[in-house]
Amino acid sequence: MPGPFFLAYIAAPVSFDPIAHAIEDEQIVALTISQDEGDFASLQVTVRNPGGLLAPGRRSWCWLSWDDGGGIVPLFCGRIVAVPERLDGETVRLLFMARPPNYDSVKSDYADTLKVQPYWDPVWFLGDLKDADAVLDAYGAQWHIDRVTLELTHSDECEGEDGEILIGEADHTYDNFEASYTNPPLSQVDIEGTLTWVQSGAGTIDLTKRITQEFKAQKTIYAYVDSYTGLITTLTGDGLMNSWPKGGTTFGGGWTVSNDTRIGDASGSFTRYEITRKYRGVRGDYPEGDEDRSVSAYYFRSHQDYEVTYDVYAFEQHTLFDWDAEKKRTETIKLSMTADIQGVLAEPGDEANIEKITISADATVTEPDDDGLMPIGDKRRKAYLPTDRGNDSVQHLLLLGRAMLRRRARAVEVRCRVPWEIGIGASLRMNARVSDRRLPGGEASGKIIGYELSAAGTGEFYAELTIGCSVGLGGGVLAAPGEPTYVDDGYVYGGYQVAAGAGVTVLTGDLVYETLDDFTVDDDGVDLLTLDEISAVQSLTVTNGLGPQILELAGSDDPANAMKDAPTEVCVQLAPVADLEFETVFTPAVEIVPLPKTIDLEAA
């Protein structure tokens, strides 16, 4: 009588057909189906030696199925990966693996669907961005390939997605039961992430109007200066024009005189003016033949009347400066994540119980993605991490730490042997709960991380399950609302309030950290996003404008040379925007991290 196991060879994976595939292409003597977390399921089957295993054209895939008395149940689909070492025995052992034929491309495509912030963040990733395995690092998950459908998915390392198998004390073999410690759990994960990048930008500021207003404040003889913003006046026009900044001149700090800068005579529509000063001055010599040297003669004959005339120069000036910013930025975030675990560690603070994550990346925040978008959004920003996108990068680091804490919290493994009928329903996407009086608290649960289904011609059918049990304390965590610092709480709607010390909850719901809004960014106060003719100028002064020059001329004993000591000068001091470096360190507090409690080691 055929069965209860059937092995049907197929050319390639096809849907299972309970009629077509319920055949015995090999006479099965014994079989073992096994799978460990993150790996492919394998079938090791011992069959009667059929001969011709290496014959050309032999089909290399198979369907293994089982008649449970009510129907044909598919158990495994895979490809032969190893032929027997000996071909002359009565039986031979064949090895099949449930690896999809297009596995690499399927995994790559599936991994692309998981590249979602904050689980995936190329800001921190310096390796091959197409590395599919790296995608799971922050998920705390493993790849899972179904042994029957060959479907690829991912599965959390602590919590199964496909339900739970209940195993009562009478459902497992007493002598084939074992509970043991694996690696000790971590008490803490310390994270340090450093991003270096260059804050940059370029633009032009127009100081034409500001300079005009400074000149106007020192007197103008024209009534419509406000409507003609480039008009300035002086008595020392040649010197002022010659000293005016020339386009293309670079003077450091990221500043260059714009090529659009110019100065010249004002429009002909303006009337030209002169200022004349009459004064009495010493005669250079006596008139020829004049011999009178009396005091009265000296007074009247040694002086004479002079006059000096100065043109009032009216210039039209357009004064612009180009800026090209380059500020080196270093942003470092330091996070310490403490695990909320049972008291299984004698010295939680020992270095052996603390994991460290150190990541450094350069220029990744300003690197455009495939869509041309930069993580920082605008290179003119003074900081990245406090932005919404930067918070995703912070949360990515926290998720990496969370994955480590959860993985190591599975510090206990329970192995048990159960009946075949229970075992064949197990997968590595499921949890199992085992009752046994020898366990603390009488039971343990956790993720199934391995199984082995065995059957032999002797009629011995069974399954062995390995369960990873977590030693956390369970529970949850809530984000602190913080203290309102903008206005009194309730005065404005949510979203307008600013709260110091507020907590941010990561989308997993079990991570809370202090907002970065509470930290001061190292900066010079020059905001490139709003840089203009006001914020860019540290000082702008006009010395000896028209008004002071007229006063100087009026009070001078030597009007002809008075302007030598009172030339009009314009001095502009601009804030440097280049050759600067800033470093900001963020140290947000992280709430204690709750971890699953699937075994109570403290129970009686």
The per-residue pLDDT for 496 is: 42
pLDDT digits over 293-305, tens only?
A: 555 555 555 667 7
Residue 158 burial (10 A CB sphere; 0-12, 13-18, 19+): buried
Return the sign of the alpha-carbon dihedral for residues 371, 375, 380, 381.
Answer: positive
Q: In this predicted structure, what is the pLDDT of residue 87?
A: 62
The yes-or-no verdict on residue 111 having pLDDT over 50 is yes
Question: By mean pLDDT, which of 114-128, 260-274, 361-375, 582-596 is the weakest?
Answer: 260-274
Per-residue pLDDT, 297: 56
Contact in structure between 412 and 469 (CB atoms under 8 Å): yes
Q: Please report which confidence band the pLDDT of residue 486 belongs to, taking 50, 70 and 90 as the band edges.
A: very low
487 pLDDT higher than 50: no
pLDDT at residue 241, as a whole number: 94
Name the pairing type of β-strands 512-514 and 537-543: unpaired
Q: Give strand ranges (E) for 27-126.
A: 28-36, 42-48, 61-67, 72-82, 91-97
- When pLDDT is averaged across residues 295-317 and rounded to a whole number, the result is 76
Higher pLDDT, 44 or 494: 44
Separate counts of helices (H) and strands (E) for the chain:
7, 30
The answer to whether the predicted template modeling score (pTM) of the entire model surpasses 0.85 is: yes
Nearest to 96 by CA among 112, 109, 113, 78: 78
**Ranges 57-71, 146-160, 226-240: which has the least confidence:** 226-240
Residue 256: per-residue pLDDT: 98
Residues in a beta bridge with 537: 574
pLDDT at position 387 over 80:
yes
Which region among 71-85, 222-236, 522-536, 579-593 has the lowest average model confidence (pLDDT)?
Answer: 222-236
Residue 132 clears pLDDT 60, i.e. is over it: yes
The residue length of the chain stands at: 604
Q: Identify the top-confidence range among 142-146, 225-229, 514-518.
A: 142-146
For the chain, give the percent of residues with pLDDT over 70.
89
Give the Å distances, CA to CA, from 512 to 186, 504, 593.
19, 5, 8
Residue with tokens 């990048």: 197
Query: Which band of pLDDT confidence, cut at 50, 70 and 90, is reported for residue 480?
Result: confident
Residue 6 belongs to what H/E stretch? strand 5-10
State the pLDDT at residue 54: 62
Please state the domain extents for the chain: 5-99, 189-199+323-407+476-526+583-594, 208-318+537-574
Q: What does the pLDDT read at residue 123? A: 95
Range with the poorest average pLDDT among 120-124, 173-177, 455-459: 455-459
118-132, 147-161, 456-470, 487-501: range with highest mean pLDDT:
147-161
Q: Which residues contact 365 (CB under 8 A, 6 or more apart)?
A: 123, 195, 197, 374, 375, 376, 384, 390
- What is the tens place of the pLDDT at every residue in 261-281? 999 988 676 778 889 888 776
Local structure of 298: helix, strand or coil: helix
CB-based burial of residue 120 (10 Å sphere; 0-12 exposed, 13-18 middle, 19+ buried)?
Answer: buried
Average pLDDT over residues 52-66: 83
pLDDT digits (tens, 9 = 90+) for 533-583: 999 999 999 999 999 999 999 888 888 899 999 999 999 999 999 999 999
Instruction: Using pLDDT thresholds of 50, 70 and 90, give the confidence band for residue 482.
Output: low
Q: Is the pLDDT of residue 518 over 50?
A: yes
**Residue 485 pLDDT > 60:** no
Q: What's the whole-number average pLDDT of the chain?
A: 90
Radius of gyration of the chain from Cα atoms?
A: 43
Within 13 Å and on the Cβ side, how many CA atoms surround 244? 24
- Strand, helix or coil for residue 299: helix
| Confidence (pLDDT) at 560 | 86
Structure tokens at 471: 């030693």
Tokens of 59: 């089909």
Q: 255 Cβ partners below 8 Å, 6+ apart?
A: 321, 322, 323, 574, 576, 577
What is the pLDDT, as a whole number, of residue 525? Answer: 95
In contact, 153 and 418? CB cutoff 8 Å: no
pLDDT on residue 288: 62
Query: Which among 160-169, 290-299, 494-503 has the top mean pLDDT?
Result: 160-169
Widest Cα–Cα separation across the chain: 161
Question: Of the candidates 407, 396, 325, which has an alpha carbon nearest to the alpha carbon of residue 366?
Answer: 325
CB–CB of 465/418 below 8 Å?
Answer: yes
- How far is the C-alpha of 134 from the C-alpha of 111, rounded, in Å? 9
495 pLDDT band (50/70/90 cuts)?
Answer: very low
Show contacts of 87-90: CB within 8 Å, 24+ apart. Answer: 87/49, 87/51, 87/53, 88/49, 89/49, 90/48, 90/49
Average pLDDT over residues 411-435: 96
Amino acid type, 419: P
Element spanning 456, H or E: strand 443-456
DSSP, res 223: T
Confidence at 468, pLDDT banded by 50, 70, 90: very high
Residue 194 pLDDT exceeds 90: yes
Backbone phi, psi, residue 494, to 5°: -60, 145
E strand segments, 149-252: 152-156, 164-167, 177-181, 188-206, 231-234
User: Is the model's pLDDT at 319 over the cut of 80?
Assistant: yes
Residue 518: partners with Cβ closer than 8 Å, 6 or more residues away: 500, 501, 588
Closest by CA to 34, choosing from 589, 305, 399, 415, is: 415
Average pLDDT (58-73) is 93
Report strand pairing: 354-362 vs 412-419.
unpaired
Structure tokens at 255: 């500043």
Phi, psi dihedral angles at 115 (to 5 degrees): -80, 70
Which of 28-42, 123-137, 150-164, 379-393 is predicted least confidently? 123-137
Strand 354-362 and strand 537-543: pairing? Answer: unpaired
So what's the pLDDT on residue 493? Answer: 44
